[in-house]
Structure 1
């Protein structure tokens, strides 16, 4: 059905008569009754006016929750807060943080009359906010000495983490509450210990055992506590799957990909197969430059190679011990000094350590290293002229880590310059680097600009006099075939498609690239873009404050206004009598090649029939602008034809013809 809330009309909150007098009355029954009447109004009109002023009401509710002597009045005030949050959703978010301390403090009450609505209210408000934004309020409440508050806060954390999977959980929130949960696991109160271990099990489902062990410390080594945490993890997995299934039952499914997503979300096996969270995300950033010895600069500029090497090794050790570097620290000066060592130092041992430092710097900063990549890329590629494996292996690691922080397009100028160098080692290693990069891309993530710039130079390398350069170029082209498809690559290779010897080599490396699937070199920028696009397309059914659901053409919620979902019938398209017969034949020929498979939700239009069935030119009249628009929309909605049925297979590569040709295929080099 989708989210019914989206189709309701906003209704102003109607205050009962004498509201101000009764809400501040000394008689608890009057305070209770006026809140009860207000709650009844909200129940009948669940979507409140988003432009209304609720400041005064929230102030009254906060005071009642904090200081009222009657728990029945407090319970109604808590219910009213939850009703406001449900009725205003994102409009209520600014009030959540100020109200949270008062709500959490009330967890000290053991009586169900106030505890139950309090749990419901806190869960409802947590659904409309980012948990990272209330992490401070949660940890403050967890630090209270009252065991009842600690127990209920731990249970609250367990319930909230059920809304997330491994790939989208709030990392800041988890990092904030984890140390306090570990402390609660050692608490003197049994109920507090049990609830903390249960919550730690919920954390383990999201982070994995290895990360939890690094963050939680010795508690994992306690066999009794460890078994309780494992039980909590299993319970969390069961409840997560059940919750996702419940949410998906109400979510609209309009396309096949949505059906697959539903299947994955309710399948216990698929939730277990999610990628392990990245430990780097849970680490604290460290400024390693402050920890360098006082004589670092002097040693780095020493005339003795051992002192230079020792200075770089000290920096490398600090980066290894602190894998996540502080992105706020300026690394421009140290980057230029290290790049100068790689470029000009006369000792290969010093150069090798400097290249390892570059790799660690890129690893520790990730996408924040991108501004410094232009300092290192030309230097590293130029230094590939060194044949010795000690230097070459370190440079390979460095250039791979640099690429992960940026994009191929931003490196294309330097790569093009390296492929144009006369030194065969530079060309060979640059082509091998491109081969590793191409294996991690596809037709959607491949940069058209970078492809246009580097492919002609790779093709030129296939005719190089150096055998290693030729092999490396064949490897790059084979990996490119895996990324964007054989027919695309053969279309842009030029004359070498007629060279059977070269094409056989390319085919060999293509098969190797397919077999090596799984060890691809993937840029963090590419992953970040894909992750962002995925989040933008997600709809959180539990809160309803994200993207609106896409309604199927076939059905709409029962409470939604009746809207006609059928398209107006289109008039048959007719050819202009002034058009030439040759043009008509070409258009007819193109239409005959297309197979029209209209969606089951869309009535086929008469405009989709072949033009050869139109009226004779003598009986036609010029098409109107409306008909012209209809014609373009029908053509754009027509599925793409299967090229494999209309094009011959490549004589060298085989019959694996791609079904679609990306946009950059039209470019001729």
Structure 2
């Protein structure tokens, strides 16, 4: 048995790795692990067989014997730990897949632990992308145990390296399938992985997979997320090999420590949904009739258009394309009369700005001004949507791009527009990551000062907040000149906002010892070996060498001592030129080191590079130098001079290009201002036209109402005229019929009338005057018009003109005529006039009623008139008698 073991140990490693006996394989794994641990460096020969044949690890980690497999995984970890990056690059393509399939789900804890360590080492030596790509196929394994182990490995990878090293996008894409698995262990591991990703990504991860989960799963995940929300931003627990080298090389530098603090400060800016998502081409999904619906006169069609667009572009990331027509249509919607259309259009602009990011910058000028003009809307929902659209537009551009429009609308006459623009500027100052330039800061401060003098308290507070936020960005000292002329009350208010402000961009003072050329002499410190005695003259040099800024800017900050002056005096000694043939500086004779003549080396020192070389000709050339080694004779100096000329030419070209761009910018600015003025004039003209049209419409409505009233009046008058005509015609016909009986009343006596009266009434009256009916008729001056007057009264009663009921035997009917009023033409007035006329006396209305005036013929001038009236009454009586006969059927 011992002989057999000796034979196995003498076999080459590849043969032992593939031996049929598992003990031989196990022993081979143990042997190589020991060799790797004892290797002095990565170039040791023990690594060479496995670099030449990486497939050895494929069969080793998938060993059928569990004990041998455990040793193989341990050996792989040692190989990666001591072998370096090349070992990982050549091995990961063949070793990771069998580790995922055979080792991660092993029942032995040592195998599982070493498998995870091997995966972490693969990432540590290079990057995480290829490793995660090899691990993800394990999620499609048919065995649930292997899927759960793969999810656990991914969780450990994310936990150790974080989402800045590990790209979470492919993992997030695979999560929904894991949540849909039937095995509860797989779902539990998927939940753990989702929680770990949430620690790094927060809400940005949800758009990638949240919609594919069931409501119950979403609820459970939300409960798990609540537990980790209180935790701070996680930190990377395991560094890559490259990060370790950087940390070791820059461990003690103060400046690097500050940079590290800045990186930690910027670390909370976690990955957002835009960085995780893949760009989607939404232009193909936009309805083809979008523009037609948007231009429709019906607000429901316009709202349907913007709602359809919102559903299409509601994605985390949008692929750039030709959105010009859509952007212009949404900008026009800002002037829509329907607030629902305005709100939805603003939300569409927000989604486009967030989905396109920098690509949306070219559309800023199209949408920003219409949005700011609509800030006059007082409804809170509309104002919030407009503000969110402005914020998204700012995020896609920069503060410098938006300042011009902001300053223009800060002077708007509408207080709502001014206040909305002010709030937008404050939000921009809080969120910008770039410190504004000094001219921009001056303009912002000037605008804030103007707001301090506004009548509205909100605008005054906004001006103070603007100045306080700017002070937070640039500091109190730099802000002092911009606060001149303000009273103490306003300064106190600004200081309060300064203390409460939170900004992302802060002006950091530049370090004073910033010149980099100090590194050039430091690298040449090795040149101090030629002569130690040279340090003595260096001590006397400081009085004569104040221009030597390179030595004064040393990182150590020491005075000009011999130790640091050695690089400056490297060419003084005779041995300096011999030991450093690259130097083109002058070589002094050996007896000259003692005199204090250090200026010549300053002309030679700048030969280290363009950054440390002065652009002027060396002034110290006239110092006593041998003519056989002039500084310009160096070939390196000629190359540098040529490069310098090229740089100067390029600089001139860039300067000219910048000047052209500035001129073009100023031209465009003037054109924009002209267009703004034209737009303002057109708006004023439009407003005047609208007002005039409204005034004309009002006049037209009034004229129509007047015309209708006139038509009604004319119709009423026409009916009255027709009625009067009918009444007149009746009266004329009655008068004509009464004329036929004029000769009768001369022959009829009072007795005849009394007989007629007794015939129809059954009452015998002795005299003509005693017949009451006849007397009444004879006493009425207008009895012949009684029937026509009754007809008139009936017509007036139908037309609503008769204000009181009438009796045909009342004094009003007998003495009134055709008038029903109680004025001058009233019946009482007519009765009094008639009584006075007939009696010739001024009797009162009471006496007239007690004793009616007789209508029988009397002596005097009015006798004929009385007889005529009696004839009229007689004719009327006869007519009535005939009517009564016909009615009573009397022959």
Q: Answer yes or no: is the 8 Å Cα contact 2:161–2:238 preserved in 1.
A: no
Shift of 1:299: 0.3
- State which of 430, 439, 463 in structure 2 corresponds to 1:452: 439
Q: Answer yes or no: is the 8 Å Cα contact 1:323–1:364 preserved in 2.
A: yes
- State which of 150, 154, 170 in structure 1 corresponds to 2:151: 154
Shift of 1:141: 0.8
Does the alignment pair 1:254 with 2:243? no
Shift of 1:105: 1.0
Does the alignment pair 1:508 with 2:503? no
Task: Report the counterpart of residue 391 of structure 2 in structure 1.
Answer: 400
Q: Answer yes or no: is the 8 Å Cα contact 2:18–2:59 preserved in 1.
A: no
Q: Answer yes or no: is the 8 Å Cα contact 1:327–1:368 preserved in 2.
A: no
Task: Report the counterpart of residue 742 of structure 2 in structure 1.
Answer: none
Q: Answer yes or no: is the 8 Å Cα contact 1:288–1:318 preserved in 2.
A: yes
Does the alignment pair 1:103 with 2:99? yes
CA shift digits 1:540-564 (9 cap, x unpaired): xxxxxxxxxxxxxxxxxxxxxxxxx
Shift of 1:437: 1.9
Moved more, 464-473 or 352-361: 464-473
Task: Report the counterpart of residue 439 of structure 1 in structure 2.
Answer: 430
Q: Secondary structure at the match of 2:92?
A: helix
Task: Report the counterpart of residue 330 of structure 2 in structure 1.
Answer: 338
Task: Report the counterpart of residue 82 of structure 1 in structure 2.
Answer: 77
Does the alignment pair 1:313 with 2:307? yes
TM-score (norm 1): 0.59
Shift of 1:311: 1.4
Shift of 1:58: 0.9
Does the alignment pair 1:118 with 2:112? no
Does the alignment pair 1:41 with 2:35? yes
Does the alignment pair 1:486 with 2:482? no
CA distance in 2, matches of 1:368, 1:341: 22
**Distance change >3 Å, CA 346–CA 230, structure 1 → 2:** closer
Does the alignment pair 1:182 with 2:168? no
Q: Answer yes or no: is the 8 Å Cα contact 2:138–2:150 preserved in 1.
A: yes
CA distance in 1, matches of 2:190, 2:412: 62
Q: Answer yes or no: is the 8 Å Cα contact 2:54–2:90 preserved in 1.
A: no
CA distance in 2, matches of 1:226, 1:457: 43
Please tell me the root mean square deviation across aligned C-alpha atoms, in Å. 5.7
Shift of 1:488: 1.2
Does the alignment pair 1:171 with 2:168? yes
Does the alignment pair 1:143 with 2:140? yes
Q: Answer yes or no: is the 8 Å Cα contact 1:475–1:510 preserved in 2.
A: no
Q: Answer yes or no: is the 8 Å Cα contact 2:33–2:75 preserved in 1.
A: yes
Task: Report the counterpart of residue 476 of structure 1 in structure 2.
Answer: 466
Q: Answer yes or no: is the 8 Å Cα contact 2:50–2:56 preserved in 1.
A: no
Shift of 1:453: 4.0
For structure 1, which runs of at least 5 residues remain unmatched after alignment?
Answer: 1-15, 531-567, 609-618, 631-669
Shift of 1:353: 3.6
**Distance change >3 Å, CA 27–CA 328, structure 1 → 2:** farther
Shift of 1:439: 3.0
**Mapping of residues 208-287 of structure 1, within 5 Å:** 214=210, 217-218=214-215, 220=217, 254=252
Q: Answer yes or no: is the 8 Å Cα contact 1:161–1:169 preserved in 2.
A: yes
**Distance change >3 Å, CA 123–CA 46, structure 1 → 2:** farther
Task: Report the counterpart of residue 358 of structure 1 in structure 2.
Answer: 349
**Distance change >3 Å, CA 96–CA 372, structure 1 → 2:** farther
CA distance in 1, matches of 2:463, 2:263: 43
Q: Answer yes or no: is the 8 Å Cα contact 1:48–1:88 preserved in 2.
A: yes
- State which of 485, 488, 499 in structure 2 corresponds to 1:499: 485
Q: Secondary structure at the match of 1:377?
A: helix
Q: Answer yes or no: is the 8 Å Cα contact 1:481–1:489 preserved in 2.
A: yes
Q: Report the structure, 1 or 2, having the larger helix content.
A: 2
Q: Answer yes or no: is the 8 Å Cα contact 2:328–2:366 preserved in 1.
A: yes
Moved more, 405-414 or 139-148: 405-414
TM-score (norm 2): 0.46
Q: Answer yes or no: is the 8 Å Cα contact 2:61–2:95 preserved in 1.
A: no
CA distance in 2, matches of 1:131, 1:605: 49
Q: Secondary structure at the match of 1:178?
A: helix
Shift of 1:447: 3.2
Q: Answer yes or no: is the 8 Å Cα contact 1:198–1:231 preserved in 2.
A: no
Q: Answer yes or no: is the 8 Å Cα contact 2:16–2:28 preserved in 1.
A: yes
When the two structures are aligned, how many residues end up with a matched partner?
A: 519
Shift of 1:508: 1.9
Shift of 1:429: 5.0
Moved more, 48-57 or 129-138: 48-57
For structure 2, which runs of at least 5 residues remain unmatched after alignment?
Answer: 1-9, 509-533, 563-594, 607-891
CA shift digits 1:269-295 (9 cap, x unpaired): x9xx97887577667766555554453
CA distance in 2, matches of 1:197, 1:306: 44
Does the alignment pair 1:127 with 2:116? no
**Distance change >3 Å, CA 202–CA 475, structure 1 → 2:** closer
Moved more, 195-204 or 97-106: 195-204
Q: Secondary structure at the match of 1:163?
A: helix
**Distance change >3 Å, CA 441–CA 279, structure 1 → 2:** closer
**Distance change >3 Å, CA 95–CA 569, structure 1 → 2:** farther
CA distance in 2, matches of 1:113, 1:164: 22
Considering only CA atoms, is the larger Rg found in Structure 1 or Structure 2? 2
CA shift digits 1:288-325 (9 cap, x unpaired): 55554453232012233442233113323555xx3524
Task: Report the counterpart of residue 556 of structure 1 in structure 2.
Answer: none
Task: Report the counterpart of residue 326 of structure 1 in structure 2.
Answer: 318
Q: Answer yes or no: is the 8 Å Cα contact 1:101–1:137 preserved in 2.
A: yes
**Distance change >3 Å, CA 138–CA 397, structure 1 → 2:** same
- State which of 273, 280, 292 in structure 2 corresponds to 1:298: 292
Task: Report the counterpart of residue 559 of structure 1 in structure 2.
Answer: none
Q: Answer yes or no: is the 8 Å Cα contact 1:335–1:375 preserved in 2.
A: yes
CA distance in 2, matches of 1:474, 1:209: 34
Q: Answer yes or no: is the 8 Å Cα contact 1:182–1:196 preserved in 2.
A: yes
Moved more, 417-426 or 70-79: 417-426
Task: Report the counterpart of residue 660 of structure 1 in structure 2.
Answer: none
CA distance in 2, matches of 1:156, 1:232: 22
Q: Answer yes or no: is the 8 Å Cα contact 2:399–2:432 preserved in 1.
A: no
